């Protein structure tokens, strides 16, 4: 079963600010998540009732996403440097 990836406008803006090599890795990771939304290395983001997940991109970047298993949708929520990506994550409305 393949999942559909939906990208939030804020995610798209954050992605454009990243170096080209990181952008490529993020896109490749989103394509891989379509086949397996819970690959090795994914983690639940603390404090969000298990709704959000994160995966490491390169050494210092994180991809934050949500999974709707009923509708087979992966929602790309945030991407960026580790130190910035978790800020205000508790305010995200899904």
pLDDT tens across the length of the chain (94 residues): 799 999 999 899 999 999 999 999 999 999 999 999 999 989 998 766 668 999 999 999 999 999 999 999 999 999 999 988 888 777 777 6
Partner residues linked to 53 by β-bridges: 44, 65
Q: Whole-prediction pTM value?
A: 0.90
* H-helix or E-strand spanning residue 26: helix 20-35
Q: Which residues contact 82 (CB under 8 A, 6 or more apart)?
A: 60, 61, 62
List the domains of the chain with CATH numbers: 4-91 (3.30.2310.20)
């Amino acid at each position: 079963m393949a999942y559909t990836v939906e990208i939030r406008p804020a995610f798209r803006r954050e992605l454009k600010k990243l170096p080209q090599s990181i952008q490529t890795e993020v896109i490749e990771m989103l394509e891989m998540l379509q086949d397996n939304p819970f690959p090795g290395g994914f983690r639940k983001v603390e404090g969000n009732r298990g709704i959000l997940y994160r995966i490491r991109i390169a050494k210092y970047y994180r991809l934050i996403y949500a999974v709707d298993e009923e509708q087979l949708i992966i929602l790309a929520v945030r991407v960026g440097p580790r130190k910035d990506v978790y800020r205000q994550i508790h305010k995200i409305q899904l």
